[in-house]
Amino acid sequence: MQALILVGGEGTRLRPLTSTIPKPVLPLVDRPIIAYMLEWLRGHGVTDIVMSCGFLASGVRNVLGDGSDLGIRLRYVEEPRPLGTGGAVKYAESLLEERFLMLNGDVLTDLDVSAQLEQHEHTGARATLALIPVDDPSAYGLVRLEEDRTVKEFLEKPSPDQIDTDLINAGAYVLERDVLSLIPPGVTWSIERELFPRLVGQGLYGFPGEGYWLDIGTPERYLQATFDILERNVHTGVDLDAGFLDVADDVESRGRIVPPAVVQAGASIAPGGRVGSLAVLGRDVKVGREATIERAVVLQGAEVGAGCQLEQCIVGAGARVGEGTQIDGGVVLGEGVTVGAGSGLSAGARIFPGVTLPDGAIRF
């Protein structure tokens, strides 16, 4: 089976993390974000995957290569300009088989795509959309189904009296190649807004799935995905032991590591330091004396000074946090940021790559 994954977006909502690294290869716990999708697809027998790239495409290719390390075949197409979801699949048409999966690369999920494929085959559908129930349907566009699972209609921004379903589009589609004839070439086009409504009553089905689904589009959701992986709320290949820990053999810890947590190779924790619960330290991260890191991610090569308190935040690769600094409330530090000693950052502040803040410069 073949899949086309759309990874052409600029990841603007995740900046400053995505200012210097393409979103698909941004580290999530212990591997690139897109690796979770590739592993999930491989587990369902999908071994031929086309990546539709745009922004920083070479960075994606340099990290993932030809896919052989993951046991799959990876090929790449690079959009000349943003073409939307429909334009992207049309641009990749020459590489696509008679039936293929099309997926939004921003999603972390463990939905049963094999069952979706089986339904598609059984119904003779032209397109089958994976659907997922949500707790608050008012925040999404909804999909109404008939009893035989054909799509009845799409409801965008429904009013309270219109809500009679909790199913939303999960961004995973089984498509027959013939539907691409409905998409004009070389234009910006939306498969969700322009193709699927035209297919209602013409072979468009929904597959109500069960399991985990999260769009990793914001720092808040990036942290939520991290926590859910650590707590095993989603099935992934992250190898946590029975105590919900994954600590590399060469980690030098003279403090405490509280599960669930992941601490990667070369990291060090000074006396009195505490990491966790719900924390990830990337490779070669240094944590100073009496520093606390909880519900947070600190990426490769960053240094956290003595007496710092980090909670509900993301620290980019190579960043430096001066001693006695407190960071919380959804703050994101970009790559190479320096925050001086005695500072305080909160309220979702985002500091972009390379910025240096002097000692005590900011208090939120």
Locate 61 and state its tokens.
Answer: 């290719």
Query: pLDDT tens digit string along 156-198?
Result: 877 777 788 889 999 999 999 999 999 998 889 999 999 999 9
Q: Is the peptide bond before 82 cis (omega within 30 degrees of 0)?
A: no
Residues 186 and 326 occupy one common structural domain: no
In a domain, 33, yes or no: yes
The DSSP call for residue 191 is I
Write the CATH number for 58. 3.90.550.10
Domain contains 172: yes
Give yes or no: 157 in active site.
Answer: yes
Which of 23, 152, 157, 286 does the annotation list as catalytic?
157
Indicate whether 356 pLDDT > 70.
Answer: yes
pTM listed for this prediction? 0.92
Going by pLDDT thresholds of 50, 70 and 90, the confidence category of residue 149 is very high
- The pLDDT score that the predictor gives to residue 76 is 92
Amino acid at 201: G
Both 119 and 191 in one domain: the answer is yes
Question: Is 241 or 28 the better-scoring residue by pLDDT?
Answer: 28
Q: What is the pLDDT of residue 56?
A: 62
Q: Are residues 77 and 184 in the same domain?
A: yes
Distance separating alpha carbons of residues 72 and 101, to the nearest angstrom: 15
Domain that holds residue 306: 245-357
pLDDT at 162: 78
Shared domain for 109 and 251, answered yes or no, is no
Given a cut of 70, whether residue 363 has pLDDT beyond it is no
What whole-number percentage of the chain has pLDDT above 90? 77
The CA dihedral of 44, 47, 48, 51, to the nearest 10 degrees, is 70
| pLDDT of res. 9 | 73
Same domain, yes or no: 207 and 294: no
304, pLDDT greater than 70: yes
**Which tens digits make up the pLDDT trace of 73-109?**
999 998 888 889 999 999 999 999 999 999 998 899 9
